[in-house]
Amino acid sequence: MTSSTPSQIKNLNNLLKNKVAFVTGAGSGIGRAGAMAMASQGAHVVVTDLLADKAHQVADSIKALGYLSSSHGLDVWMTQRSMFYFKIQ
């Protein structure tokens, strides 16, 4: 088993700096956890969820930790032809 050196660990900080992460279903559960993790790595996280209030709550939690975030209500669905559609609320 190998161990990480402090310089290797430091390189993991801000892994997503200057990137935007668009996360669907981020109002709860694994989507929320992913949004929080990406924010902690420096990404500006766009939190979206079918329930706009939940998306706003998660974005507020991210901002409270000092990270960048915005939020939108978003409905995503797929047709029989495997085309994805979305509507921002």
Which range is least confidently modeled, 8-12, 19-23, 64-68, 74-78?
8-12
Confidence of residue 44 (pLDDT cuts 50, 70, 90): very high
Q: How far apart are CA 45 and CA 22, in angstroms?
A: 6
In order of start, what are the domains of the chain with their CATH numbers?
Answer: 16-88 (3.40.50.720)
Other C-beta atoms closer than 10 Å to the C-beta of 24 total 17
Question: Identity (one letter) of the amino acid at 39?
Answer: A
pTM: 0.79
Mean pLDDT in residue range 33-59: 96
Residue 31, pLDDT score:
97
The string of pLDDT tens digits covering residues 4-40 is 555 555 556 789 999 999 999 999 999 999 999 999 9
Contact 76, 84 (CB under 8 A): yes
Contact 22, 49 (CB under 8 A): no
Q: For CA atoms 48, 62, 70, 15, give the dihedral sign.
A: negative
Taking alpha carbons only, the member of 65, 10, 56 closest to residue 37 is 65
Average pLDDT along the chain: 86
